[in-house]
Amino acid sequence: MSVHIGRDVDDVLEKLSSVKDTTLLAGGTDLLVEINFGRARPTHVLAIDRLDELKDLERNGHVRMGALVTYTRMLEDDPGSAALREAA
């Protein structure tokens, strides 16, 4: 299994388009469990957990939430936001 750590969104998009059968790794909990139980055998893993661009949480009349925003971060940002809790 090869592992690549994405430098930025452009790097990740380039790797996804050029390397077939790539599995994205964000936090790792789900994927690592699947690997440990022998239910997943990824050939190529692309780690995206360091991409700050995907950790943005913005409100400007609407909510824009990056793919790496955690549930805890949503609660810390606005603990009263029922819409964000339900979206999670």
Cβ count within 10 A of residue 14: 13
C-alpha span between 28 and 49 (Å, rounded):
9
**What are the CA-CA distances from residue 52 to residues 14, 40, 64, 69 (Å)?**
17, 27, 14, 10
**Could you tell me the pTM of the whole model?**
0.78
Contact 48, 25 (CB under 8 A): yes
Domains of the chain: 1-54 (3.30.43.10), 56-88 (no CATH)
Q: What is the DSSP letter of 33?
A: H
Per-residue pLDDT of the chain (88 residues; tens, 9 = 90+): 999 999 999 999 999 999 999 999 998 889 999 999 999 999 999 999 999 999 998 888 888 889 998 888 888 877 566 666 677 6
Q: Which residues contact 78 (CB under 8 A, 6 or more apart)?
A: 59, 84
